[in-house]
Amino acid sequence: MFTINPFAGLSGFISPLVMQVYVIAMILLVIGGTVLDMIHKKSARFFFIHAEKAKAAATRSLSGGEKTSIALKTIAGDVLASAEFCSPRRRISHLLTMYGFILFVATTAIMIFGYAGSATPSILPQLWHAGALMLCIGGYWFWFFIRVDMVAEGNAWYRVVRADLFILSLLATATFALIWSALQASSIDGWATLFFSLFILSSTVLFGGVLWSKFAHMFFKPAAAFQKRVAKADGSRDGLPAPADKPRQFGPGIKRLQPKNY
């Protein structure tokens, strides 16, 4: 199972060209959904207005080298290591989900475009299955144990809102993919067809539902993290309202409770 390209087994009744067209269609849906999200929520406009205000409030000008250094620190810290999460378990869960998703999507594209109708190097399906497993471990850990503070909020794991569309469709895609691969490797054709259909359905919801989910946020977070570091370096942050992570000062005898990071 772990060394077999599941997409190669489809080439007998689904043309590799059809699979490739589907992948391209999903990419276009992500791009289109992200653009519509920016237009609908005016995210880009808000970001640039905030950046202009910060620039006007700056007390010093940053050189190109300083901005490059900040960009590298943003990539290394905020993007690759998810340094914004203070909770270790929240960070580990996020990293498992993020790198699992990257492995899963990247190897899917490589196997479909390069090896759907030919012999596949065993490392590719191994990475595909490893990515799906990492995604499931990180995602289910977040959903059942990190997402909700049962004591403080009293919300059950089965409470679902529209913003949960991304994580639920993501988990469904990885889960159905693993089950489909196992059934296909065991030559249980009827059930394999069913779970392949569910895999396609959930992945279509995942990539086609960008406008209604938090999928597009992953493209804005690095830019926001970079801008935050720039504002701190050029002094403009001191001229803006206090950020949410900086506790307000209260009168004597009044202690502000620190928010929990899940």
Mean of pLDDT over the chain? 81
> What's the confidence (pLDDT) of residue 262?
46
> What's the confidence (pLDDT) of residue 151?
47
Q: What one-letter code names the amino acid at 218?
A: M
**What is the phi-psi region of residue 235: left when phi exceeds 0, alpha when psi lies from -120 to 50, beta otherwise?**
left
Paired tokens of 58: 């700056």
For the chain, the farthest-separated pair of C-alpha atoms sits apart, in whole angstroms, at 75
Contacts of 207 (CB under 8 A, 6+ apart): 26, 27, 29, 30, 33, 215
Express each pLDDT in 215-241 by its tens digit: 666 767 777 777 788 878 877 765 445
> What's the confidence (pLDDT) of residue 19?
92
- Measured between alpha carbons, how far is 46 from 40 in angstroms, rounded to an integer? 12
Half-sphere exposure of 49 (CA within 13 A, CB side): 5
Q: Which of 73-77, 80-84, 134-138, 217-221 has the lowest mean pLDDT?
A: 217-221
- Give the percent of the chain with pLDDT over 70: 79
Most confident of 27-31, 35-39, 79-83, 217-221: 27-31
Q: What are phi and psi for residue 46, nearest 5 degrees?
A: -65, -40
Q: Which of 46-55, 104-113, 138-147, 204-213 has the lowest mean pLDDT?
A: 46-55
CB atoms within 10 A of CB 160: 11
Express each pLDDT in 47-66 by its tens digit: 677 767 777 777 778 788 88
Contact assessment for residue 167 and residue 212, using Cβ atoms and an 8 Å cutoff: no
pLDDT: is 52 or 105 the higher one?
Answer: 105
Q: How large is the average pLDDT for residues 132-156? A: 78
Q: How large is the average pLDDT for residues 70-89? A: 80
125: pLDDT strictly greater than 90: yes
pTM: 0.77
Contact assessment for residue 240 and residue 58, using Cβ atoms and an 8 Å cutoff: no
Length of the chain measured in residues: 262
243: pLDDT strictly greater than 80: no
150: pLDDT strictly greater than 70: no
